[in-house]
Structure 1
Amino acid sequence: MELLPRSPGEFGSARYWDRFFRQRGQRPFEWYGAFAELCPVLHKYVRPRDKVLVVGCGNSELSEQMYDVGMCDDIINIDISDAVIRQMQERSGSTRPKMSYLLMDMLQMDFPDAHFQVVLDKGTLDALLTDEEEATIAKVDQMFAEISRVLQVGGRYLCVSLAQAHVLKKAVEYFSQEGWVVRVHQVASSGDKQQFVLPVFVYVMTKFRKIPGSAPQILEICPEEQDKPMRMECVEQLVAAVKDRQHYALLCSQISKTPCREQVSLDLCDKESRKPRYTLHVVDSPLVKPSRDNHFAIFIIPQGRETEWLFGTEEGRRQLAASAGFGRLLTVALHREQHYEGMAGIQAELSGKVMELAPPGLPARQQVPFLSVGGDIGVRTVRHCDTSPLSGEYVVEDVKGDGSCYFRRLIFLRNRSVVQSEARLLAPTPLQGQKKRRKDKKKPSPTEPPGAIDKSYLCCEHHKAMVAGLCLLGGPDALPGDEAGSGRLCWGQAHVAVVEIDPSMLEVATHWFGFSQGDRMQVHISDGLDYVAKLAAEAPAQYHAVMFDVDSKDLTVGMSCPPPAFVEKPFLQKVRNILKPEGVFVLNLVCRDARLKESVLATLRDVFPLLYVRRIEGEVNEILFCQPSPEGRCNPTELGVRAQALEGALRQPGRPWDSSYVLADVLQAVHIL
């Protein structure tokens, strides 16, 4: 039996619908939106004494169900199909005396003006607005004009729809321009098997008298039944919000049927600010054998630790899911702009949402565990936030790490998943003879971190590798400085020139990270490209070491460190020119584009005859050590000896040193390219 139309235009044809209902017979055709799902919304906008008009009624049971439950009984149904009107008159004529079915075209209705309090449309607009051709738009405009004419001021046009973008946009634009209040409800799913994966929406257009001039549009969305309406600023924003809900429904439908081959990521936004509140990643572990208790778990990442490799990378999350032993692990990252009421509050807030992302085969009424590190949500304190013309918005925050350690971090908000700078904070030490605090004085919070920077500790593994690369200089005697005029070179008198393009970052480093300049440490506010070019022209071969750890502001390039201009051949030749023959150029390379990476390495080989690499485990970073002379080649044994000598020179009394940092261990993974 062929019920589909030959073309979308037939949806507006009486002949098509006559044929459709004759072939279908008495079986109700609901298309979408079961009565139980629509009831909560209908009860808000349909009152028992309202006079209700249902346009394009078909043989849906919606009017009969509204009548039977007492929602209202003064209901007039119209349709262009003579066949279906006869069917419905026979079906309801004797049992529902106050409800009528009339053969009528909704584009030319016979009712007087302002005759109804409610016009109800279930799928009729969707069927009519199948394209955006001029003739179709003209019919829709005529339909809207007739609905407006027969509705009283204060009346409601309720349109049940799948909310295709062009349908929603047309309806919202038309009625908002007429001065009506527009609110879009998402209909809660009953969980039964549905013909459509997409969620059902109800547009509620409330008629007001049109005010001359430019009255503000009132556009709202209620994504869930219990939610307060969210005000939208424009039609495009409302359409985008509906589109997000549709994408989410498609995602939930997809991952509820089959395991995810790739990790799925999505943001859940705060209902008031509409800013991301939670970032979720769905991670499936195909090697985990399913049992009753290991199908699904939720892992709450402690605040401030979302940038760590285990939580902030695909490979890390995959490892986390496998070690946790669950078929599907949902990781939840918390955002710094949001406030959270502890683990219990997060569980209460997420419990309904996360079950929509449950894996296939999850047993009914299965308890899903919430996991975390240490059983809490961590500590994050934002110390400073500002905006730089060069770096954009940034924050300085203190976070709690493992155990009792606290760390201070600089984050550029344009790239929230990357820690720009990090330092460990020293634990507070009580002063000798310090008197006990008076009971009436406020005690510090046990979760409040200290503020002093531990300058002996390098938090980033790639920074440790960059420092260790100085061993390639041949030991402490090869480093710059002069002791007692003897010409003996030593670490203790090395001079460092720091180049920073953003003056705001110098302020941040000084105020928040304990940085200070001195006779042997000078900061130059300049573009690194310009500074190196100037040195190459004025004073070549003056540096023993040049280090690049430069982030790229262009996130569209597959190389986030350094910017491409820093690894172009003419510039690298200038870098070589400012190095002494025995010097070393140390480069932090972060490149996810394999072809681009090979191109960069080839250029480096052209300029520097000797090239070492140290890959950072669990990160994309690779530290490259480039030397202008092949005569500096070291074997592993010699490199280890140099590392011990350098470390011995640095571990002097009175100089802070992290005992866990062993240069020889860092250099074991270095090899020649």
Structure 2
Amino acid sequence: MELLPRSPGEFGSARYWDRFFRQRGQRPFEWYGAFPELCPVLHKYIRPRDKVLVVGCGNSELSEQMYDTGTCEDIVNIDISDAVIRQMQERSGSKRPKMSYLVMDMFQMDFPDAEFQVVLDKGTLDAILTDEEEATLVKADKMFAEISRVLQVGGRYLCVSLAQAHVLKKAVEYFSQEGWVVRVHQVASSGDKQQFVLPIFIYVMTKFRKIPGSAPQILEICPEEQQKPMRVENTEQLVAAVRDRQHYALLCSQLSRTPCGEQVPLDLCDRESGRPRYTLHVVDSPSVKPSRNNHFAIFIIPQGRETEWLFGMEEGRKQLAISAGFRRLVTVALHREQHYEDMAGIQAELSAKVMELAPPGLPTRQQVPFLSMGGDIGVRAVRHRGSSPLSGEYIVEDVRGDGSCHFRRLIFLHSRNVVQSEARLLPSLPLQGQKKRRKDKKKANPAEPPAAIDKSYLCCEHHKAMVAGLCLLGGPDPLPGTPLAVLVVGLGGGSLPLFIHDYFSQAHVAVVEIDPSMLEVAVGWFGFSQGDRLQVHVSDGLDYVAKLAAEAPAQYDAIMFDVDSKDLTVGMSCPPPAFVEKAFLQKVKTILKPEGVFVLNLVCRDAQLKESVLATLREVFPLLYARRITGEVNEILFCQPSPEARWDAAELGARAQALEGALRQPGRPWDSSYVLADMLQAIQIL
């Protein structure tokens, strides 16, 4: 402990460093970064004939190693500590005649202007810039000014650093404003046990003549795993890119020492575009008994299946890890808009990276298995791309599900892991796989005939529950031939209103959709069509309901809300908050018949907000049922204006069986997995 400074300010004190090196003796002291790690980057920017200045050299072996390996020989080392300079002169004087050591203050150097082609700094800036106090920043400016003065135009300032945010930001802002080109290299780890968990970076600042006016900044980062630098737009992006790599290193270090209590998500980005290519989740299962071969495995989620409960939800991934029988499982989701050749290609690409996430105690040379469903990477084909002022960018994609089933999905790219609408494709038109990479990224041909949609199949569990809610309607039997007036707010792909229209022969369905683009998508890609009993009104649902309440009260048997919120800052993604305000809910009650049912798809992760919504609903509707969707956040709420409309569980079960029996008409397709009684079995009165 006696070798540590009493305060950060002592890092700039000659007296402190004299004491440090006297007590340490002849043993070399390396702040961080051994020569083998730094060498690949240094060789890119130091030529054998360059004259190199090393500032704050200490008793590091870096200069000696550069000299001995032929990196360069004309090296001048300076330090404020007389004690360390004497040590180094004794150590290298006779062995390395072209290299010199001088006692000198780097804030006021004695060298003439433009004396050096390279200035090398290993940890000195980090030692100086210990905080963001005004006096410290002034010292950094003096250091930078002197480095700039003694460097030739075209010369390089190479700074080896741990890249704390304030250090990196200060250096980048100073030199980029001077018109220098700034590149940050992440130094590849040797794999040996290091003093510092954080990765090491080298800032490469190349001096150019300052051009009057506002010349564009050139800022780049070169991660350890690639040679080609990536351009960033500003200092903030560069600092953020470095911070991401630091967080990843810290996480890997943590995971290598202890099991992880929480599931840790990680994004691995494409080298060319910088966009996410893989999303990893680290799942530890302490309950799995250890054996020789069950320490660690990688599970590749087939394309298009990352939204399924087993892969997309925390509880699902826990179950997957336990079922697979591994104490640590890393699940890997493949991003849309990225190309993947095959499982072997993914394995080759990920092998080195995922091993950094290996658990403690993994046996040496342990073979780590790559697992998947069905042994392949799945199929995902983008059929259509579009953009709407209301919904933003969206895509229609076809994916292969479990077994031989294929599905069509609508995805809003602002929530790319949420399926907005889904339909099953008929087996007669199987999905064409991505056997070869598409050379262009243009929109799918509008003239391309849409695949046949299986209109008997409700993909969404919450849609199945909403249809089952019709059993709550008054009357002796809720049979398909009974006249029904249904209002659906939120179209999506149109599967919910289309199912009600097709299976309830006397139902008249009005759909309200605020976004005209969604109507085009539903018609063009999801088999939706309007008719005498099914009409879509392009309007704001708030305005439409308000108008009906003023003009034609008590006209609907059932009202269904399945509308998403565009405001991602609210802890409720469905519906928008305005749809559950008391004044608006009273208007909904006004247009609902006394024996009718209001069905609401509620998706709310904020417990306090959810309780507030439920309290408001109870104020307006005396009878409130709830049905949780297993494995999802969705909760379907059935609200009725009359408390006398209450049904007990036995009555609901009987009505559900009667309704399902009537819907299963001979010759009409029916999804055998859809049991209405099951949808109502877990219903609760709130």
Q: TM-score, normalised by structure 2?
A: 0.91
Contact 2:380–2:434 at 8 Å: present in 1 too?
A: no
- Bigger Cα displacement from structure 2, 166-175 vs 364-373: 166-175
Question: Which residue number in structure 1 is paired with residue 411 of structure 2?
Answer: 411
Deviation at 1:205, TM superposition (A): 1.5
Contact 2:381–2:433 at 8 Å: present in 1 too?
A: no
Deviation at 1:333, TM superposition (A): 0.7
Question: Which residue number in structure 2 is paired with residue 289 of structure 1?
Answer: 289
Q: Deviations over 1:94-151 (max 9, x none)?
A: 2222221111111222222222222111111111122233333232222222222222
Q: Tell me the distance in 1 between the aligned counterparts of 2:566 and 2:516.
A: 16
Which of the residues 572, 582, 585 maps onto 1:559?
A: 572
Equivalences for residues 419-458 of structure 1 within 5 A:
419-428=419-428, 451-458=451-458
Indicate yes or no: 2:663 matched with 1:650: yes
Q: Tell me the distance in 2 between the aligned counterparts of 1:225 and 1:285.
A: 30
SS of the counterpart of 2:257? coil
Question: Which residue number in structure 1 is paired with residue 161 of structure 2?
Answer: 161
What letter matches 2:532 in structure 1? D
Q: Tell me the distance in 1 between the aligned counterparts of 2:143 and 2:657.
A: 85
Contact 2:379–2:434 at 8 Å: present in 1 too?
A: no
Structure 1 residues 623, 135: closer, same or farther in 2, change over 3 A? closer
- Bigger Cα displacement from structure 2, 568-577 vs 208-217: 208-217
Contact 1:378–1:400 at 8 Å: present in 2 too?
A: yes
Question: Which residue number in structure 2 is paired with residue 347 of structure 1?
Answer: 347
Question: Which residue number in structure 2 is paired with residue 363 of structure 1?
Answer: 363
Q: Tell me the distance in 1 between the aligned counterparts of 2:563 and 2:429.
A: 36
Question: Which residue number in structure 2 is paired with residue 670 of structure 1?
Answer: 683
- Bigger Cα displacement from structure 2, 555-564 vs 61-70: 555-564
Contact 2:385–2:394 at 8 Å: present in 1 too?
A: yes
Question: Which residue number in structure 1 is paired with residue 200 of structure 2?
Answer: 200
Structure 1 residues 491, 78: closer, same or farther in 2, change over 3 A? closer
Q: Tell me the distance in 1 between the aligned counterparts of 2:484 and 2:110.
A: 99
Question: Which residue number in structure 2 is paired with residue 575 of structure 1?
Answer: 588
Indicate yes or no: 2:268 matched with 1:230: no
Contact 1:296–1:368 at 8 Å: present in 2 too?
A: yes
SS of the counterpart of 1:411? strand
Equivalences for residues 585-600 of structure 1 within 5 A:
585-600=598-613
Q: Deviations over 1:323-350 (max 9, x none)?
A: 1111111111111111111111111111
| Identical-residue share of aligned pairs (%) | 86
Equivalences for residues 308-387 of structure 1 within 5 A:
308-387=308-387
5+ residue gaps, structure 2: 437-448, 486-502
Deviation at 1:264, TM superposition (A): 0.5
Which of the residues 592, 595, 610 maps onto 2:623?
A: 610
SS of the counterpart of 1:385? strand
Contact 2:153–2:207 at 8 Å: present in 1 too?
A: yes
Contact 1:532–1:575 at 8 Å: present in 2 too?
A: yes
What letter matches 2:520 in structure 1? E
What letter matches 1:8 in structure 2? P
Indicate yes or no: 2:25 matched with 1:30: no
Structure 1 residues 10, 445: closer, same or farther in 2, change over 3 A? closer
Q: Deviations over 1:526-545 (max 9, x none)?
A: 12122122212211111111
Deviation at 1:657, TM superposition (A): 2.5
SS of the counterpart of 2:183? strand
SS of the counterpart of 1:476? coil
Q: Tell me the distance in 1 between the aligned counterparts of 2:582 and 2:611.
A: 14
SS of the counterpart of 2:419? coil
> Number of residue pairs matched?
654
Question: Which residue number in structure 2 is paired with residue 52 of structure 1?
Answer: 52
Q: Tell me the distance in 2 between the aligned counterparts of 1:420 and 1:28.
A: 61
What letter matches 2:388 in structure 1? S
What letter matches 2:81 in structure 1? S
Question: Which residue number in structure 2 is paired with residue 625 of structure 1?
Answer: 638
Q: Deviations over 1:415-434 (max 9, x none)?
A: 1121100000012279xxxx
SS of the counterpart of 2:158? strand
Structure 1 residues 342, 447: closer, same or farther in 2, change over 3 A? closer
What letter matches 1:15 in structure 2? R
Question: Which residue number in structure 2 is paired with residue 187 of structure 1?
Answer: 187
Question: Which residue number in structure 2 is paired with residue 41 of structure 1?
Answer: 41
Q: Deviations over 1:58-91 (max 9, x none)?
A: 1111111112222222211111111111111111
Deviation at 1:93, TM superposition (A): 1.5
Indicate yes or no: 2:493 matched with 1:480: no
Deviation at 1:446, TM superposition (A): 9.3
Contact 2:270–2:276 at 8 Å: present in 1 too?
A: yes
Q: Deviations over 1:254-290 (max 9, x none)?
A: 1111111111112111112111111111111111122
Indicate yes or no: 2:25 matched with 1:12: no
- Bigger Cα displacement from structure 2, 584-593 vs 514-523: 584-593
Q: TM-score, normalised by structure 1?
A: 0.93
Q: Tell me the distance in 1 between the aligned counterparts of 2:332 and 2:649.
A: 43
What letter matches 1:563 in structure 2? P
Structure 1 residues 594, 141: closer, same or farther in 2, change over 3 A? closer
Q: Tell me the distance in 1 between the aligned counterparts of 2:295 and 2:177.
A: 50
Q: Tell me the distance in 1 between the aligned counterparts of 2:592 and 2:344.
A: 58
Deviation at 1:295, TM superposition (A): 0.9
Deviation at 1:522, TM superposition (A): 0.9
Question: Which residue number in structure 2 is paired with residue 524 of structure 1?
Answer: 537
Q: Tell me the distance in 2 between the aligned counterparts of 1:266 and 1:649.
A: 49
Q: Tell me the distance in 1 between the aligned counterparts of 2:289 and 2:319.
A: 16
Deviation at 1:165, TM superposition (A): 1.4
Structure 1 residues 444, 366: closer, same or farther in 2, change over 3 A? closer
RMSD value, Cα = 2.1
SS of the counterpart of 2:57? coil
Structure 1 residues 580, 479: closer, same or farther in 2, change over 3 A? farther
What letter matches 2:483 in structure 1? P
What letter matches 2:574 in structure 1? C
Contact 1:583–1:628 at 8 Å: present in 2 too?
A: yes
- Bigger Cα displacement from structure 2, 263-272 vs 133-142: 133-142
Contact 1:481–1:492 at 8 Å: present in 2 too?
A: no
What letter matches 2:346 in structure 1? I
Question: Which residue number in structure 2 is paired with residue 104 of structure 1?
Answer: 104
Q: Tell me the distance in 1 between the aligned counterparts of 2:591 and 2:73.
A: 90
Contact 2:561–2:599 at 8 Å: present in 1 too?
A: yes
Q: Tell me the distance in 2 between the aligned counterparts of 1:78 and 1:303.
A: 57
Q: Tell me the distance in 2 between the aligned counterparts of 1:544 and 1:214.
A: 66
Question: Which residue number in structure 2 is paired with residue 439 of structure 1?
Answer: none
SS of the counterpart of 1:420? strand
SS of the counterpart of 1:514? coil
Q: Deviations over 1:193-247 (max 9, x none)?
A: 2222111111111222333333332221111154211112222221211111111
SS of the counterpart of 2:617? helix
Deviation at 1:315, TM superposition (A): 0.8
Q: Tell me the distance in 1 between the aligned counterparts of 2:644 and 2:300.
A: 52
Contact 1:424–1:459 at 8 Å: present in 2 too?
A: yes
SS of the counterpart of 1:305? coil
Structure 1 residues 2, 492: closer, same or farther in 2, change over 3 A? same
Q: Deviations over 1:576-600 (max 9, x none)?
A: 2212122111111222222322222
SS of the counterpart of 1:375? coil
Q: Tell me the distance in 2 between the aligned counterparts of 1:408 and 1:273.
A: 27
What letter matches 1:75 in structure 2? I
Contact 1:398–1:406 at 8 Å: present in 2 too?
A: yes
- Bigger Cα displacement from structure 2, 353-362 vs 617-626: 617-626
SS of the counterpart of 1:576? helix
Contact 1:480–1:544 at 8 Å: present in 2 too?
A: no
Q: Tell me the distance in 1 between the aligned counterparts of 2:104 and 2:671.
A: 86
Question: Which residue number in structure 2 is paired with residue 468 of structure 1?
Answer: 468
SS of the counterpart of 1:492? coil
Contact 2:557–2:595 at 8 Å: present in 1 too?
A: yes
What letter matches 2:138 in structure 1? A
Contact 2:303–2:334 at 8 Å: present in 1 too?
A: yes
Equivalences for residues 233-252 of structure 1 within 5 A:
233-252=233-252
